[in-house]
Structures are given as C-alpha cells and as structure tokens.
Structure 1
Amino acid sequence: MALLYRADLTPGKLDLIAGWLPGRPWYRGPAAPQPERVSAFRFDDPAGEVGVETILVRAEPDGPVYQIPLTYRDTPLPGAEAWLLGTSEHSVLGTRWIYDAAGDPVYAAVLAAAILAGGTEAAEEISTDEGLVSRTPAMSVRGTGTPGADVPAVTAVAAVKDADPTVITTDSLTLALARVLDGALPAGPALLWGERALAAVV
C-alpha cells in the first residue's frame, strides 16, 4: 500500500522534472519544457521508508510520452548525487530528496520483484483527519512473471546507462527501462506491462 498525504510540495514534482528533463540524453523536446502529467503509478517499498512513483509526462502538446520513475527519501542517498532532481518541502513530511529512480537500489528491487513475480501497482490510501481513504490508482501495470517466484535480492546499483532504454545494472540482475514510450524494449518474457512494455529484466 502507498500511503499518501493531502499536502503541499514546494517546488512541485513537475517543476523539478521541468528543470531536469532537458539534460537527459534521451530527451527530444523543447529547451524549456512545461511538463504535463499524463498518468502515474506507485510501487511499495517493503521497508516503508522510500516513496516510489513513476510519472508519465509530455513536454509539449502532441509530443512523446516520457517515463520518469522517482524515489522520495527523507535523507540523501549516499553516492547518488548524479541522480538527484532536487529537494522539495513536503508540508507534512518535511524535506524530501527526490531522485531519478534509475540510480536508486530500492526502485531496482521493487521493479524487479514486480516483473519477475507478477506484481502490480500499489494500492493507494490517503491519510486524512477522518482516517485512511482509498484512492484508485491512475493506471494499472503488471509484471509478466509468476506470483511467488524467487526474485534475486537487489541491494546496489552498479552502473546506469542513461539512454533509451535506460539500462540499470545491479548486483544481481539487469533491468531495461523505456524512457520514450514510442521506442522498443529488448524482446523477452520478463516485462512490466501497462498499455505497452515499460520495463524488462534482461
């Protein structure tokens, strides 16, 4: 379950994405984008410490859709300065360090688990004064693996090739992440599927 809050985030996620996106080697939009959220989904961090959200955005009307997974942390991730979009002030949780999740081992672990064990997006609940309120996720995803399958433990990201697809090499497996959702992922059975293939274990 992803626990959310009715809160303000300053600067907002789209503001941070707007400043970060033009520096990506796979980006092909305007120099000063005004990203528009197309959809989003979340995964659970089993430890309950790191927020994991994938946002799909367009940088311009009728432009391609970009897949941008983010992780939200309450302290900096050591050694991940290259993947930091910036910090933001959350009106409930305080300062959040927001990362391109390609460089975060928690994202690699939950993505691999979703793909190999047939996982889905997390259920979402919003914390309110009246208690927890369920919210329907904006989109659904599913891994093509088998529920209950063994998933190699991922504890570190060894290397990231920041291209399209982005290739994430961990200490136990390699993942490919589609960035521009009109391209292609490596063929194979181990995929995360939305309306199209979003990521793969390769």
Structure 2
Amino acid sequence: MAIIYDTTMNPGKLDLLAAWLPGRPWYVATGQAPVPVKAGGFRLDDPEGEVGIEFMVVTDTSGGRQVAYHVPVTYRGAPLEGAAAGLIGTSEHGVLGRRWVYDAAHDPVFVDRLLALFRGDAKPQHQSASDTPEPGVAVRYEGPQVAGVPATELPEVTEDARGTEILLPGGARLGLTRTPAEAADAPSGVLAQWMTPDGATHRGVFASLSFGPPARDADAGA
C-alpha cells in the first residue's frame, strides 16, 4: 500500500515538469514557458513498497491555450541505474528525503505494474489518499495476457509527436497517450478522468496494450 504524505516537495512536481516538458517530442510548444496545472490521475502500488507510481495529468495553460498532458511518473529513493534518459529531476521530500523522479515509461517497476493492471492483478488507487481505491479507472482489454517483467530490466522506449511506446518481449507493446482526448466509449485501454481548468471533466485512454509492429513502422510500410 502506497502511503500519501501530507508534506512538501522542493522543487514541486509541477516545477519539475515545467522544466522537462519542452524537451518532449509530443509537447505542443506555445512560445512561452509551460505553466502546468494539476488536472487528475491515479496511482498504482508497488508490492515491494519501494517505488511510488503516479499516473498524472497536467494542463499547460501557457500561450492562452489549455493542453492536457498525461505524464506517468515514478518516485525512487535512489537513482535507477541506466535510466538517466528518463530522469525528470530530483526533489527533496518533506518526509522521505531526496527523491529521484522518472518518466515512468523508463522504469521497469511501472511497466510491471501497468501490465498487472491489464491482467486485473493491480487495483487503481486514489491519487492523493492512502489505501483508497480509485473507482473512476476502467480497464478494457480482451487480448493475450502478458507476464510481468524483471524489476532490473530497463524498458525499450520510443516516442514521437504521437506519444510513447514501450516495446516488450514477444511483440507486445504498451502505448502511453501523452495528450489525452475525450474517448469515454473507447473499446480498449486504461480509461481514466481528468479535469481542465474551466471545470470540465473528461474521460479517455491513458494506456493501451497491443501486439505486432510499432504503429510508426506500420505507417511507414503502408
């Protein structure tokens, strides 16, 4: 069970993301520095209790626009060896001390728990309350089951303007939607909610699981 502490992080998560987002291929530049605002999400538990896992949505309000970004992150008490490319930054947690914050796509514990969510072996948790299920998350998936991955095996990650893909053994692929759109009736994927600064609630696909060649390879051969 993840324990959510009522404390501070310095720098805060939104400050870290403001510096990190412009370097992503899926970020929509506005000509101004990002101004991310918390917009929703949920968590998954690490059975070992070592890694914090948060599916976070923020809305960038810079440039007079409101663009939502899905940024799953992991929190660790020490650097993840070999995953420097996925490091968002470090922060001082008011209770736990220094935390290394990673883009979760690069973290094998996140990949393992996301696969467990697709298998029905993990339960979504509230984003900001300890030991509290999050009923607003739905998993729609009828494909082959995929086993977990070793906690020491770094994922193979590719990303472009369309989002992020995590390549798995056996031809399986996890997709992370980075700019979620309203798709409450999507037939498959992990569906969750977020809220825009105007107070509107939206629901769409945060992650998908599929098989075969990566979408960008299929497009290239079309």
Q: TM-score, normalised by structure 1?
A: 0.83
Q: Does 1:160 align with 2:157?
A: yes
SS of the residue 2:113 aligns to: helix
Give the deviation of 1:120 after TM superposition.
3.8
Contact 2:42 2:127 in 1 (8 A): no
Residue 5 of structure 1 is matched in structure 2 by 5
For 1:59, give the aligned amino acid: D
Contact 1:157 1:170 in 2 (8 A): no
Question: Larger helix proportion, structure 1 or 2?
Answer: 2
Q: Does 1:44 align with 2:45?
A: yes
Aligned pairs for 1:55-94 within 5 A: 55-60=56-61, 62-94=65-97
User: Which runs of 5 or more structure 2 residues have no equivalent in the other structure?
Assistant: 193-202, 211-222
SS of the residue 1:89 aligns to: strand
For 1:174, give the aligned amino acid: R
Aligned pairs for 1:1-202 within 5 A: 1-30=1-30, 31-60=32-61, 62-117=65-120, 119-123=122-126, 140-145=136-141, 151-155=146-150, 156-163=153-160, 164-171=162-169, 173-182=172-181, 189=188, 191-194=189-192, 195-202=203-210
Change in Cα spacing, 1:157 to 1:183, as seen in structure 2 (3 Å) is farther
String of CA shifts for 1:115-139, please: whole Å, max 9, x gaps: 232754125786xxxxxx76675x7
SS of the residue 2:3 aligns to: strand
Runs of 4 or more consecutive aligned structure 1 residues displaced over 4 Å after TM superposition: 123-126, 133-137
Instruction: State the number of aligned residues.
Output: 190
Cα distance in 2 for partners of 1:91, 1:40 equals 22
Cα distance in 1 for partners of 2:3, 2:166 equals 27
Give the deviation of 1:2 after TM superposition.
2.4
User: Which runs of 5 or more structure 1 residues have no equivalent in the other structure?
Assistant: 127-132
SS of the residue 2:180 aligns to: coil
For 2:16, give the aligned amino acid: L
Change in Cα spacing, 1:125 to 1:167, as seen in structure 2 (3 Å) is closer
Contact 1:70 1:101 in 2 (8 A): yes
Change in Cα spacing, 1:160 to 1:124, as seen in structure 2 (3 Å) is closer
Cα distance in 2 for partners of 1:32, 1:85 equals 16
Residue 196 of structure 2 is matched in structure 1 by none
Identity %: 39
For 1:109, give the aligned amino acid: D
Cα distance in 2 for partners of 1:144, 1:183 equals 16
Change in Cα spacing, 1:134 to 1:116, as seen in structure 2 (3 Å) is closer
Give the deviation of 1:158 after TM superposition.
3.8
Cα distance in 1 for partners of 2:122, 2:65 equals 31
For 2:56, give the aligned amino acid: I
String of CA shifts for 1:50-88, please: whole Å, max 9, x gaps: 000011111116422110000000000010001101100
Give the deviation of 1:7 after TM superposition.
1.2
Cα distance in 2 for partners of 1:135, 1:107 equals 19
